[in-house]
Amino acid sequence: MTERPVCVIAFSGGLDTSLCVVWLREEFGYDIVTATVDTGGFSADEIARIEARSRELGAIAHHTIDGTQELFDGWIRHIIAGNYRKGGVYPLSVGVERVVQARHLVEVARKHGAKAVCHGSTGAGNDQIRFDGVLRTLAPELRVHAPIRELGWGRAQEADYLASKGFEVDASTKRYSINAGLWGTTIGGGETKTSEGVVPDAVYPATRSIDDTPAAARELVIGFEGGIPVSLDGQRLAPIALLRALDDVAAEHGVGRGVHLGDTIIGIKGRVAFEAPAAQVILDAHRELEKLVLTKWQQFVKEQVAAFYGMFLHEGRYLDPALRDIEALFDSSQQRVTGDVRVRLHRGTATVLATSSPYSMLRASAGAYGEETGLWDGRDAEGFAKISAIQTMLAHRAGDDT
C-alpha cells in the first residue's frame, strides 16, 4: 500500500480550518496533521476544544505550541523599543504572530516529513501574505495550500461541504471578526467596513466603556530594565505575566481602545478597531523614559528606522535582513532605558506623571536650567545663537532680490 503524503495545517478549529482538514484529505489524499500555535489568544478551554476538534475531523496528529515567549522576544520587545504605532495609533496588536505560527508550521512539517503545509486565510486579507512569505522563504520545497482563498466559497458552502462528509458545523455569519493575542485584540467587520461607522461599546471584549469605569483614578508604576518592562508597582514580573496583569487593570479603566484606518498589504484601504490596554500604557511609559535618558539624535534616528521596521513587520517581511540591522540599533539604544514610570489611569486615558532613572540626563545637569546650569554663561549663549543662525541667514540673503 502506497504511503499517503502528509500536509500540516495551521489550525484554529473554526469553520475555515475545519474545511481545510476535510478538503485536503478527501480531495487531495493527504494524511492531515494539525498545529495550533498559541500567541496569547487562547484560553485552556479553547485549546482543549481545538484539540478535540482535530481528532473529530480525523487528523492523524495534533500539536499545540506555546509561542507567547517567542512572540515577546522576537517581536514585541522590538515594537516597544521602537515606540511603534502604525498610523500613529495602532500598536500592531495582531498580525506579527502569523510569522511565529508559520515558522512553527514549517518545524512540524519537517518533523512529520510532510510534503505540504496549509493555512486558512482568505484571498482578501493581510494574513495570506504573511503566511505565504514566511512559508515560501523557509521551506520552498513544501507546497502551500490555501483552500479558502482558492475555492472562494461562502460560509454556507463550506458548511454544506462539511455536512456532506458527515461533519456538522455552525455556519452562522458573524457580524464581527475578533482576533486576540498577547499584544492586543483586533475587531473587524461591522462598522469598520466603512470610514463612517462607529463601533459600539459592547463589541470590545475586555475594556470597559467610559461610563462603566471607576470614578477614582488608579496610579501605578512600571519598572523598565534595558527597555523591557520588568515590574509593576514594585513587584517584579516576567514580561508576559506583566503584560497580562497590566491588561486587566488598564482595561478596567477603559484604556487601550482605538480605531485604525490605513493601507493593507495588497494596496487597498482598511479599517480595524482594536483594544490593547497594556500596549498603550507601556508604549507611552517607555517613550517618556527614553526622553529622559536618550540624546535627541538617538531619538531622532530611532524614530526614522522604527517607521520602516513597523511597516515591514505589518507586511510580513520579518525575515528580511534589514530588520536584523534595525534590531541591532534598537538593542544598542535600549542599554540605558532603565527606570520607573508613574502612570495615571482614568476614564479611558493613560497619563504619564513622572519618570526616574539612574541614567537621567536631566539629573546630570543638576536639575537646573539656563544660566543656572553652570555649563555656559551669557556670552557663550550669545555666540551660539549667532552661529546657529548663520546658514538660515545666508539662505535668506541669497534669495533676497532687494
Distance CA(316)–CA(63), nearest Å, equals 24
Distance CA(49)–CA(45), nearest Å, equals 6
What the chain holds in terms of domains, given with CATH numbers, is 6-173 (3.40.50.620), 180-294+336-361 (3.90.1260.10)
pLDDT value at 271 more than 70: yes
Over residues 336-353, the mean pLDDT reads 98
In DSSP terms, which residues pair with 38 in a beta bridge? 66
Q: In the β-sheet with 116-118, what is the strand arrangement from edge to edge?
A: 61-66, 31-38, 6-10, 116-118, 143-145
For position 53, what pLDDT does the model report?
96
For position 245, what pLDDT does the model report?
98
For position 372, what pLDDT does the model report?
65
pLDDT tens readout for residues 286-301: 999 999 999 999 999 9
Q: Quick one: pLDDT band at residue 401, thresholds 50, 70, 90? A: low
**78 or 363, which is more confident?**
78
Q: Quick one: pLDDT band at residue 123, thresholds 50, 70, 90? A: confident
pLDDT value at 273 more than 90: yes
For position 280, what pLDDT does the model report?
98
Q: Quick one: pLDDT band at residue 128, thresholds 50, 70, 90? A: very high
Angle at 54 between CA 52 and CA 55, to 5 degrees: 65
Q: Quick one: pLDDT band at residue 2, thresholds 50, 70, 90? A: low
pLDDT value at 402 more than 80: no
Distance from the Cα of residue 139 to its chain's centroid: 24
Nearest to 278 by CA among 314, 249, 258, 310: 249
Residue 388: how many other CB atoms lie within 10 Å: 9
8 Å CB contact between 230 and 239:
yes
Look up the pTM and report it: 0.92
For position 209, what pLDDT does the model report?
95
pLDDT value at 1 more than 60: no
Give the contacts of 377 (CB within 8 A, at least 6 positions apart). Answer: 371
Percentage of the chain beyond pLDDT 90 is: 84
Q: Which residue is associated with the grid cell 510534503?
A: 115
Indicate the pairing of strand 235-236 with strand 228-232. antiparallel
For position 155, what pLDDT does the model report?
84
pLDDT tens readout for residues 204-246: 999 999 999 999 999 999 999 999 999 999 999 999 999 999 9
Q: In the β-sheet with 235-236, what is the strand arrangement from edge to edge?
A: 235-236, 228-232, 218-225, 339-346, 349-356
In DSSP terms, which residues pair with 224 in a beta bridge? 229, 339
